[in-house]
A and B are shown apart, each in its own frame.
Chain A
Amino acid sequence: MVSPVLIISIGLGTAFALGLLGSTRKTLLFGVTLAALAAMAAISVMWLVALATGATQTAEIHTAGVAPPFAINLRVGIAEAALLATVTLTGFLAALSLRAQLLTLGRGGMAVLLVLVMAISGLVMTRDLFNIFVFIELVAIATAGLVLLSEDTRAVCAGFKFLVVSQIIAILLLVGIIFTYHANGSLNIDDIGATPVAAQGAALAMFLLLIALVIELKPFPANGWALDIYTSAHPGFSAIFSAATGSAALFVVDKVVAPAGAEWLPLLTGIGLLSFVGSNVVALRQDNDRRLLGYSSVGQLGLVLAVIGQRDVLGDAYLYVAGGLVLSHAVAKAGLFWMSAILRGRKLQDWAAIRARAPMVLAFATFIAMLVGLPPFPGFYAKWDLAQALVAAGRLPILGLILLGVLIEAAYLFRWFGFAIKREAPESGLSANMVDCGITFAAVAGGWALGWIWGAIPGQHNVLATLPVLAVVAFIALEPLPAKLKNVLAIAALLGWFALVYGDYDPMRLIFAVVMIPGGAVILLASFSETGRRIGFYPSAMAMYAGLALLLEATTFFEFFAAWEVMTLGSYFLILRGRMSEPHALSYMLFSLGGAFALLAGFALASGGIQPFALDQLGTVTAELAPWVFVLLAIGFMTKTAAMGLHIWLPGAHAEAETDVSPMVSGILLKAGLFGLFVMLMQLGRQSLWGVDLTVVLAWIGAISAFLGAVLSIFQEDAKRLLAYSSISQMGYALFGVALMNHLGWLLAMMFVINHYVYKSMLFLAVGGVYKRTHTKLMYQMGGLITLMPFTFVSVLVGIIAMSGVPPLSGFGGRWIFYNAIMDANLRLPLILIFMAGPIGFLYLFRLIHTIFLGQLKDPHRQLKEAPFWLVLPQMIFAVFLIAFAVLPGMALQKVDGYIGSIFGDQPLVWQGRAITSEFGYWNPVAIMVVIAVVFVAVFLILIAKNHDAQKVKQFNIVFSAERPYRPETTHFAWNFFAPYRKAMGILETPVVTSFWGGVTDGVNGAAEFTRRFYTGNGQTYAAHVLLFVVAVYLIAMGGVA
C-alpha cells in the first residue's frame, strides 16, 4: 500500500512543481494538475477499499520520524479514507468543472486548487490541533483565492468578507489552542483525550476551540459571510466548498469533541439543530439556485453536527448514520452545483431547461432524493437508524426538530423539482457539454453506488436489491423504448410478480395484492392509448407499484417503511406529470412525507431501538407506549387515506393527474393507507389515551371524512375534482368500518377496498376519456354526450349505481354489511354523519352523469367520437366485474370473511348457497338480481309494445319558458347544479382546513422572509453576527462562567 501521506505530498509537490513548468503551456499544466488530483484520489480510494474489505488496518503515520506530541501524526481509518475519497474525487471532478477558468488563470489557479484539496485532506488526517489550525488557514486562503476565479463581480466582495471572518475564526481557534496547550501540555488530540480536561479554564479553551471549528461549518445564523460565496463563486468550486470543505470541517469537529467529552455534545446538538431548521426555513424564500444550495448545505452540515452531538446514543451506528448523511450531502450537493454549471439561468425556474434531457431529470431527482433522505440512498438508512437511536434514548424532541427540518427542506427542494418539470423552459437555457454532464453523472453513479453500499451492509435490508426495485431500475434503463412496448413489459412485470407471490398471502393481504398488482395491470391497459416514448412515466409508475408490492411483502418495520417511501416517491413523480399538477404534487409530497415521519417516529417508539423489529411483534409494545404508537401510526396512515384534516392534497393531486394516473393514485394508492391501518389495528387493537378510546376517534374522523367529502364533492364543477372529493368520502366510510373494530366493520372496509378500486378507477377512466375528447373537465361545458360516447356512459352508469349502493349492484352489499356492522357497535353519534353522507352521495353521482352525458349537447362537441379503445376496454372489464361481484360477492369475500373471523374469533355471516345470513338480516344477491331483471324486462316489454314506434326527435324538440330553445349553453342545466343545497349547507364549504394549512405555510414563509433580512450583504454586519453568535452561545452554553 502507498502511504496516505503521499496525498499531501503529491498535492503540495505538484503545486510547487507547477511553478517550474512554463506558464504558457497551460494544457500541460492542467494535465499535470488533473494527474495529481487523480493520483490523490486513487490513493484515497485504494485505502478506502482496503479498509472496507479488511485488507488493511487503520494507518498511523508519524511524520518527522518521531512519536507525537513531538511531531505531527496522521491517521487513516475507514472514516478518514471515505472522507479522503470524497474530498479528492470532488477535487478532481471540480477541476474538470473549473477547466475553463483554470486554463485562463494558468498555473496560479491550479496550484491554489491543489493546495486546497491537499489542505482539506490534511484536515481529515491530522491528529494535531495546531496542524488543524494550519490546514484551516490554508483552506481559507485557498478558498478566497479560488472564489476570485469566478466571473461574477460579486465574488470579489464575497472573497473579502470570507477572509475577514476567517480571520476572526482563526483568532478564536488560536486562542483556544493556546489555552488548551496551557491546560493540557499537549496539542495532540489523542493526548487530550487521555487526560480529560477538568478545570474551568480548560473548559473555556475547549469552548473556543469548538466554537471556532463550528463556525467553520457556517452555522445559522452566523453564516452570511460564507453564503455569498455560494452565490457568486464558480459552481465547480462551490461543490468543493460545500461537499469537501464542509465534510472535512465536520470531521474535525468530530475529532476534537471526541476527547473533549460528552458534556460538549448538547452544545453541538443545539447549534446543529438551530442551523438545520433555521437555514432550511430561510432557504424557502431563495430564488437563486446556488444561494439556495448554499442554505441547504449549511442546513445539511447542521444536521450532521446535530448527529455528532448525538454520538453518545448512536453507539456503533454512529459512523453509519453520520457517514450516510455526510456522503449523501457531499455527493448530492456537489452534483447539484455541477449541474448548475450546465444551466444558464440562475433563477429556480430556469431549471425547467433540464426537462429536455431525461437523464438530467433523473440526475436532479437522484440528488433531491439523496438530500431528503429517501430510499434507496444512504440518507434514508441513516435517518431510520438515527430515529431508532433517538427514540430509544428518549430524545423525541430532537427527532421532532430533525424531521421538521427535513420536511422544510423537502418543501423547497421538491418545489424546485416541480419548477424544473412544469415551468416554462427558457430558450437555450442549457449549455450542456460532455465534461460537465460527465461530472454530474459521475455524482449520480456515486449516489446510487452509495445507496447500494449502505443497503448491503450486513444486518440491513437492501432496498435496491429487491426484485421490484430492480425492476424500476430496469425501466429507467428501458426508457428509450416506445411506450407501448414498455407498457407490455410493465403489465408483464406486474402479473409476473403477482404469480410469484400470491400463494404466500393470507386472504386479506391477497385482496390488497389483487387490487394493487393485477389491479394495476388492468389500469395499465389504458396506458396503451398513449403514444411516443412517454419518458418518465414507467419508472415512476413502477416505483409506485414496487412500493406497494414491497409493502405487502414487508415483515419488519424497516421493510414496511422503506416500501412506503418508495411508493410515495413513485406516486409523487406520477402525479407531477399532470399538466397543472405542480402545486398539488408538492402538497401531496409534503403531506406524504409528514405522514411518513409520523410512521417513522411510531415505529421507532414501538421498537425501542431494537432492529430488525418484526411487523407482527407490534403488539408487544408496552401498554404505556401503545397509545402513542397508535396515534403516530394512525396519523401516518390517515395522511394516505386523506382523512379530513389531512386531505387537502388529494383533490388537486387526483384531479390534475393524467388520465391513466388518476385511477392508479385513487383506485389503488389510497388502499395502502387502509392496509397500514389494518396491520396496525390487528396488532395494537383498541387503545385508550387519557380515557378516550382511540378507535372511536378514528371512527369519528372516518364519519366526518365520509360526510364532508361528499358535501364538498357536490359543489365541484370539475368532474375529476368531484371524483377526488368522493374518494375522501369513500375512504371515510372504509376508515369508519376499520375503526368499528368488529368483524363486519372490517369486512365492510375490505368490501370498500375492492369496490372503491373498481368503480373509482372506472369513473376516472371514463371522465379521462371524456376529457381526451372534449378537452375540458368542467362539467357544465359538456352535456348530451350519451349518444356520442355510449360505452363511457354505460361505465359511468354502472359506476354510479354501484357506488351509490342501490341494488342490485355491488355497492349494496357494502351497505348491507355496514348496517349489520353497526348493529354490533356502540358508536351511535358518528352514524348520523354516515347516514347523511349516503344520500348526499347520490347528489354528486347524479350530477356527474347528468351534466356530462344527459341534457343538451354543445355545438363544439357534435363531431366527438367515443373515447379511445384502450380507455374503454378496462372500463368494460370493470363493469363486468361489478355486475359479477354483485351477484357472487362470495367469490371475493367468503375467504376473507373466514379470515377476519379467525382474528375476532366469531363468524357472524353464514354463507349458504348464494344467500348470506347474519345475526340480524339476510341478503340474497342472486334473488335480488333475478327479481329486478324480470320486473325490469317485463315493464320494458310493455313499453316497447306500446311505444316501439315512438318518433325519435332532435335535440331542441322541447319547449320551455314559452319558447323553443336554440342554444345548448342556455338550456343545459348544469352549473351550480345544487344551488339550493349551497344555500342551505354552503357553510360547510368554508375552507377551514385549507386555511389552517395555508396559515402554517404562510407562517413559515413569513419567518423565512423576516430572517433573511439579517443577511444584509455587509461584511461588517456579518463579522458582528459571528461575534454575537459566539457570545450568545457562550452565555447559553456555559452560563457565563469563565
Chain B
Amino acid sequence: MRFFDTRGKPWLVWLGFALVGLALALLPFALAQAGTTWVRIMNYTILYVMLALGLNIVVGFAGLLDLGYIAFYAVGAYAYALLASPQFGLHLPFWLILPIGAAVAALFGVLLGAPTLKLRGDYLAIVTLGFGEIIRIFLNNMSRPVNITNGPQGITRIDPFSFGTFNFARPDTVLGIDVSGPIKYYYLLLLVALAIIVVNLRLQNSRIGRAWEAIREDEIAARAMGIDTRNLKLLAFAMGASFGGVAGGMFSAIQGFISPESFVLVESIMVVSMVVLGGMGNIWGVILGALLLSFVPEILRWTVTPVQEALFGRMMVEPEVIRMLLFGLALVLVMLFRPAGLLPSAVRKRELEEHVA
C-alpha cells in the first residue's frame, strides 16, 4: 500500500525529505518548550534507536537471537569512560575514542560469535545472555587487585564531547539562538543515527545483506549456495556490536557517569523488545519500535503518578514497574497476534501473504 504515489513525481520525495528534515531540526526546540527533560528523553530515545538498529543486524538480518546485546553498549561506554575521565587521567578527544570503542566492541562481538557459530536459536540466545552477564560481573569486580572499572561505584566525571572550544555540555548562543547542552547532543546524536540508518539501508540490499537473509531463512541451503556462513555470521556480530559500542560511548559522554547498573539483563531485553515489536528485519519498523518503547513509558511516567494520586490518594504502582509490565506484555502480545511485528519486513510480509493465498 502506498500513501502517496510518487511515481513520475520525484520532487515529491525530495519535498518529503525536506519536511521530515525540517521537523527533526526544529523538534528539540519544540521539546524544550515542555522542559529540557524532554530533550534529554529524546536523546536517550535516539540512543535506543541506534541500539535497536545495531541489534537488528544480528537478530533481524542474520536471524541470530542475541540476549546479551547490552554488553557491547557497556564495552563502548567503558571504553569511552576509561579514555576520557580522571580514572586513568586520560582525556582523549571523542572523535578518536568513538572509533576505538566501536572497534573494541566489534572485537567482543567476534569473541562472542566465534565459539557460538554452531549454535542456533534458543541455545544461542542463552549463551549470549550468559555472555552479557559475564561482562557485567567483570565490570562489577574489576576494581581489585588493580582498579580498572572502579567496581559497582562506576566511573564519574567523564568528559563531555568537545571540539576545540565548542563544548557539548555547556549552553551556547549560535547565530543568536540559545542552544542548551542537550540540544547540541541531540543534533550530534541525530547525525550519527542517520549515518547508522544509511549504513543499514545500504547493507540490507547489498550482497552481504542478502547473504544474511539467506542464512536466516536456511543456513544449510545458504552454505550450499556458496555463502561463507562462518565469516558472515561473525561479521553480523561484529557490525551489530560496533553500533552498540558507538551508542555506548555517546551514552557515557552524555551521562557523565556510568556504572554496571546501567547494563543489566533487562536493558538487553528492552532492546530485543524494540526490535521484535517493530518488526525484525525492517529498519523503519525497528525505529518505530524503539521510539514507541522509549517514549510511551516516559509519557506514562508523567501521567501515571498524578492519575494514581488522584484516584487512590497515593502512588500504588511505580511507573517503572508499569513500564516493564508493558515491555513484557508487548513481547507476549506481539508474538501471539502479530508475530512479524508492527511493520513487518518485506520478506516476512510476502511469506505471510503466500500462506493466505
Q: Please say whether chains A and B are actual partners in one complex.
A: no
